[in-house]
Amino acid sequence: MEKQRKNTNIIRNIRERKNSAMQANLLVLNAFFEAARAGKNGLELARAAEKAGPLFLCPTEVK
């Protein structure tokens, strides 16, 4: 019973991390789009998004 509860908690943690990574990736993607739309004025936003992107775990790496 205890082992099953631990497994359930592990699975829940993995799902939460995966969801967080997906949301973070969407935020970075959105920042790229906003920077592209802003053109020359969006260069700083593009640089920030480019630096932030690798900080997040790719959701496909979490199984």
Q: What is the pLDDT of residue 8?
A: 92
Cα distance between residue 35 and residue 28, in whole Å: 11
pLDDT higher than threshold 50 for residue 62: no
Tokens of 48: 């920030």
Quote the Cα angle for 31-26-36, to 5°. Answer: 25
Would you state the pLDDT for residue 35? 80
Note if the pTM is more than 0.95: no
Tens-digit pLDDT profile for residues 2-61: 888 898 999 999 999 888 888 888 888 888 888 888 887 777 777 777 777 666 655 555
